[in-house]
Structure 1
């Protein structure tokens, strides 16, 4: 049986798809589980930065101790302090950052299945329902230690699915009391929202040098036109020029170190045609790659 990985180890090469990936994490424990409905408790001892995750189901996150910062696809941030809670719609791409100061991060994550959601929505008044929303999350205001008390009552040794059903219904009603009820209902009702990824963080990786603009658009969860628009709003330049310049800067760094051939440098930054690489390089630096290499 393969060794269980920590969240940090897993996310070095993977986006964390929630809740599915959490079952294999050794710093996460399962408290209750039935099908797609599950309650986790996670405890992180080491700093975790730039952890990208995707919500495959509606999810509530409650912070027991420590601090966690969530960053959305538009680079907006939400800091969650002890006692804070946030409800996330299905279909969100987010980044999580945790830097340990004095406390480890202890949090509960609850994922709601369709059965629990439908059962709950049947009980609320039809005029409370909102068909859609552009916002993918709802912050909950802690009242009378409601969530802390709720999680303290969970008996993880009770394996009955009916017990889990009761606790999920209790939690959904508690969330509606603590947050924007109409927004929560909308987030529960919609199947998925835009799954755009954070462009700034996605493009920090040197792995993208081998990709085309079309590849990057698809990877970011956008159409070509939407990608070009969002990209230019952030970087004030076209994706084509930005990617070309980034490749040349990387190639120049490699050549200045003198440990790589011109051909290997071209391949390293995504150019299979070496002549084309030399031409583009000279346009940017006024020198050929060989001249840079010999000058070191």
Structure 2
């Protein structure tokens, strides 16, 4: 149930919104070419599409609002929530940044379809949101010049957070939407030091759905298939290069040299060093 709702427009479109709700509530996202930053000022909320993300107080969620069926609802049936929403419209961004869009809106070099990311508690973003509350109480002071500055401020802050790489992936889709196939994402990620959960995020699936889709396409588990491909790549590099074994391990996606050595021995019957020596005899 919505207890209070306020919004401030920029150039005729919603820029910032403040929603106070109490259980039960659901906030459905519109089907529109835009992105949203949702900041939980009080209480807790839960974002649910294919997978589920809990958003506690002072955390935020960045997502593109292109696909239907995405909802935000309460994660605690006994408490209300207060949510501030900052919306990014491509046409307004182009108008504000007449000469060139900031780098965070440029396509990233990551092969991923990730459309939502949880932003860790960031002190500067927290203070930014607190600053917006003044304009909800004094809407007459929120003129276009001030709002343009606030838009540029949040873009700058997002580009400087520890989650900037994920943020770029999501925001760049506003201007360069690229949809990769499941296999394209898997093949591009084989030798990155990431786990199954991060791979699932890249294809916008829950871990369980990701595993089902993976087995359907590869007739194997993600862990076993990826490990096999990494070991095959390592064996190839050992045969054609003089790079250190530890460097090869990291380049092939192993973050633990000892685990790499054991896995390699299990598959090839020799340590990486001995494998290389045998090839050169």
TM-score computed with the length of structure 2 as normaliser: 0.51
What is aligned with 1:252? Answer: none
Match in the other structure for 1:112: 88
Q: Which residue of 2 aligns with 1:137?
A: 116
Query: Counterparts of 2:14 and 2:81 in 1: how far apart (Å)?
Result: 23
For the aligned residue pairs, the C-alpha RMSD in angstroms reads: 3.2
Structure 1 residue 32: deviation in Å? 4.6
Instruction: Assess if the C-alpha contact under 8 Å between 1:68 and 1:80 holds in 2.
Output: yes
Equivalent pairs counted in the alignment come to 170
2:63, 2:104 → 1: CA distance? Answer: 22
**How far is the alpha carbon of 1:55 from its aligned partner?**
5.0
SS in 1 for 2:29: strand
Q: Write the distance in 2 (CA, Å) between the matches of 1:163 and 1:148.
A: 19
Report the Cα offset of residue 67 of structure 1.
Answer: 1.0
State the match for 2:63 in structure 1.
88
List gaps (5 residues or longer) in structure 2. Answer: 180-208, 214-281
Q: Over residues 68-119 of structure 1, what are the superposed CA-to-partner deviations in whole Å (9 max), with x where a residue is unaligned? A: 11112x3x11000001101111313312221545542001011112245335
Aligned partners of 2:74, 2:105: CA distance in 1, in Å? 39
Q: Is the contact between residue 36 and residue 87 of structure 2 (CA under 8 Å) also seen in structure 1?
A: yes
Unaligned runs of 5+ in 1: 1-5, 8-25, 195-229, 235-296
Contact 1:43 1:106 in 2 (8 A): yes
Query: Which residue is 2:44 aligned to?
Result: 67
* Partner secondary structure for residue 57 of structure 2: coil
Matched residue of 1:153: which SS?
helix
**Secondary structure class of the residue paired with 1:171:** helix
Task: Give the ranges of 4+ consecutive aligned residues of structure 1 lying more than 4 Å apart after TM superposition.
Answer: 99-102, 125-128
State the shift of 1:130 in Å. 1.4
Listed as ranges, the matches of 1:92-171 within 5 Å are 92-93=67-68, 94-100=70-76, 103-118=79-94, 119=96, 122=100, 124-125=102-103, 129-130=107-108, 133-143=112-122, 145-154=123-132, 155-156=134-135, 157=139, 158-171=141-154
1:142 & 1:111 partners in 2: Cα distance?
19
